[in-house]
Amino acid sequence: MCRRYAVALGIRPEEVARDCGTGLPDVRTGKREGIQVSDETESEGTSYSVPPVHRAFRLLRHIAGGARCSNASATARELGINRTTLIRLLHTLEAERMIETQDEGLSWQLGPGMIALAADALKSRDVVRVAQPVMARLVTQLGLSAHMGILEGTEIIYLLRETPNSHLVSNVREGSRLPAHATTIGRILLGALPAGELERRYGGSDLSTFTDKTATSLDALAAQIAADTTRGVAWSSGNFERGIGSCAAAIFDHQGRAVAGLNVTGPESQFQPDTPLAAQIEAAIRKAAAEVSAALGYSG
The tens digit of pLDDT for each residue in 174-209 reads 888 899 999 999 999 999 999 899 999 998 777 999
Q: Using CA atoms in the order 273, 277, 283, 284, what is the torsion angle rounded to 10 degrees?
A: -130
* Distance (Å, whole) CA 50 – CA 284: 39
pLDDT at 2 over 80: no
Share of the chain residues as helix, strand and coil, in percent rounded to the nearest 5:
45, 15, 35
- β-pairing, 107-110 vs 145-152, is unpaired
Average pLDDT over residues 49-70: 90
Q: Please state, in angstroms and rounded to a whole number, the distance separating the CA atoms of residues 23 and 267.
A: 73
Q: What is the mean pLDDT of the chain?
A: 83
Terminal-to-terminal C-alpha distance of the chain: 39
Least confident of 56-60, 102-106, 242-246, 283-287: 102-106
Beta strands in the chain (DSSP E): 99-102, 107-110, 145-152, 155-162, 177-179, 234-237, 244-252, 258-267
- The residue type of 90 is L
Q: Which structural domains are found in the chain, ordered by start? A: 2-120 (1.10.10.10), 125-295 (3.30.450.40)
**180: number of Cβ within 10 Å:** 25
> Do the Cβ atoms of 299 and 276 come closer than 8 Å?
no
Q: Give the whole-angstrom CA distance, residue 170 versus residue 162.
A: 9
Most confident of 21-30, 33-42, 45-54, 281-290: 281-290
Q: What are phi and psi of 247, to 5 degrees?
A: -140, 135
Task: Classify residue 290 as exposed, middle or buried by CB count within 10 Å of its CB (0-12, 13-18, 19+).
Answer: middle
Instruction: With cut-offs at 50, 70 and 90, classify the pLDDT of residue 10.
Output: low
* pLDDT single digits (tens) 210-265: 999 999 999 999 999 999 999 999 999 988 999 999 999 999 998 999 999 999 99
Q: How far apart are CA 33 and CA 91, in angstroms?
A: 19
